[in-house]
Amino acid sequence: MKLYIEIRSGVGGKDAENFAEELMSVYLKFAGRNGLKSEIVDNGKTKIISIEGECRFIKILENEAGVHKVQRIPETESKGRMQTSTATVACFRDTGIKEFVINEKDLEFKYYKASGPGGQYRNKTETAVRLIHKPTGIVVTCANERSQLQNKQTAIEIMICKLQKVFIKEELSKIDKKRLDQIKKAERSESKRIYNYQRDIVYDNITNKSATLKDIMKKAKIELLA
């Protein structure tokens, strides 16, 4: 079973961006610790990773969907003031229904140069792909592979997962409701989970479970909150 996890920074500026990066690292560590196959699909502003393996672990990861709120003193804060930042997590499971068909006329592909590690080849060729589903406005980006064709195929696969999840349960007019239900508007008051560095605790508002920051952020034991 494969799951795509989309992570975005919310409110909080640079600290929110750092928090999104940290959450991605936690999920990758969780995958490695439990023998799951993982891959970074896009490490841009919107981060997308794929994780594949046993159903019980995928269900734990699906529980991560929602607004995550962190309360801490950012490294960039010179006056030592506490700041509250957020990041959103959305999950899309690959159902394996390969006969699901997307009308090609509804798709718009844009190609651009990928940024990040990879050397001259990565910087000088337009291998990264941004896929737009025009009727719904859903956007998928993929910049992991050096091959434009591979990135295009991965972007289509993720788009199918997103559309499947919605079309099976909702009408086209409510296409983005599922995602909005998960991430809302990334406001601080909408948090599913709170990471409080002063108290050294992570608390889940949905499951009413808690764990230490070390267990979650360093050891990636997110099953403690499921």
* Domain covering 104-174: architecture: 2-Layer Sandwich (3.30)
Give the burial string for 119-142 (b: 16+ CB within 10 Å, else e): eeebeeeebbbbbbbeebebebbb
Question: Which pLDDT score, from 0 to 100, does residue 178 have?
Answer: 56
Beta bridge partners of 48: 6, 42
Locus of tokens 């959305």: 90
Which segments of the chain belong to CATH 3.30.160.20? 104-174
pLDDT computed for residue 120 by the predictor: 45
Are 194 and 205 spatial neighbours (Cβ–Cβ below 8 Å)? yes
Please tell me the distance from the alpha carbon of residue 185 to that of residue 113, in angstroms, as a whole number. 30
pLDDT of res. 122: 46
Kindly report, as residue ranges, where domains of CATH 3.30.70.1660 are found in the chain: 2-96+177-225
Residue 108 is predicted with a pLDDT of 94
For residues 19 and 12, the answer to whether their CB atoms sit within 8 Å is yes
Buried residues in 145-163 as b, exposed as e (16+ CB within 10 A): beebeebbebbbbbbbbbb
Among 3.30.70.1660, 3.40.50.920, 3.40.50.720, 3.20.20.70, name the CATH number for the domain at 2-96+177-225: 3.30.70.1660
pLDDT for res 104: 85
Averaged pLDDT, groups of 10, the chain, 226 residues long: 93 94 98 96 92 96 95 83 93 69 88 63 70 91 84 90 71 51 61 94 96 98 97
Q: What's the pLDDT score for residue 185?
A: 60
Kindly report the pTM of this predicted structure. 0.71
pLDDT at position 109, please?
93
